[in-house]
């Protein structure tokens, strides 16, 4: 009888230990794609929840470091927080992943305008972006006007 109890206890411990390993295997696999993390981040951001949005964008970048929407979102958040260096870094990474993208070039120029520095570099970006700007043309022209206004003040 005692031997049977020991066997039952050992079998029970073995079954429980086997079950305990299943969640660890499931945890290592992210069920969301990089694009889905970006979408989730966008939802959080739309509800004013920056911290979880940033986490989702970073999770997207962990899967795909060239995920342009995540880089743009993080750059925009850094810009809003007046973290010029971080914003510039994210926008440069986005531009490297999507060369010649007029929206990214405009955002990168806007960092220089916001800082009031490197206005010649900002103007070059706008000049390069304008020929392919399409529907973004008004935004680039607005940035160009802001560059001119800042340049006039110097």
Comparing 7-11, 16-20, 124-128, the range with the smallest average pLDDT is: 7-11
- pLDDT exceeds 60 at position 3: no
Contact status, residue 68 vs residue 107, Cβ threshold 8 Å: no
Asked if 108 and 125 touch (Cβ cutoff 8 Å), the reply is: yes
Report d(CA 1, CA 6) in Å as an integer. 9
pTM listed for this prediction: 0.80
Rounded alpha-carbon distances, angstroms, from residue 84 to 59, 72, 76, 125: 22, 14, 10, 17
pLDDT in tens, 63-97: 999 999 999 999 999 999 999 999 999 999 999 99
* 119-147 residue pLDDT tens: 999 999 999 999 999 999 999 999 999 99
The residue among 105, 124, 114 whose CA lies nearest residue 149 is 114
Q: State pLDDT tens for residues 96-107.
A: 999 999 999 999
User: What percent of the chain is predicted at pLDDT more than 70?
Assistant: 82
- Nearest CA-CA partner of 125 in 82, 95, 90: 95
Structure tokens at 14: 């073995």
């Amino acid at each position: 009888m005692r031997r049977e109890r020991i066997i039952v206890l050992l079998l029970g411990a073995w079954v429980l230990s086997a079950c305990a390993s299943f969640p660890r295997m499931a945890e290592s696999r992210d069920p969301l794609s990089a694009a889905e993390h970006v979408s989730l981040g966008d939802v959080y951001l739309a509800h004013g929840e920056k911290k979880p949005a940033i986490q989702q964008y970073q999770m997207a970048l962990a899967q795909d470091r060239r995920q342009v929407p995540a880089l743009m979102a993080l750059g925009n958040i850094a810009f809003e927080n007046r973290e010029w260096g971080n914003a510039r870094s994210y926008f440069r990474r986005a531009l490297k992943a999507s060369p010649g993208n007029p929206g990214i070039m405009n955002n990168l120029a806007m960092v220089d305008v916001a800082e009031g520095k490197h206005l010649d570099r900002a103007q070059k970006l706008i000049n390069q972006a304008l020929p392919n700007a399409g529907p973004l043309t008004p935004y680039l022209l607005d940035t160009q006007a802001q560059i001119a206004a800042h340049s006039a003040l110097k």
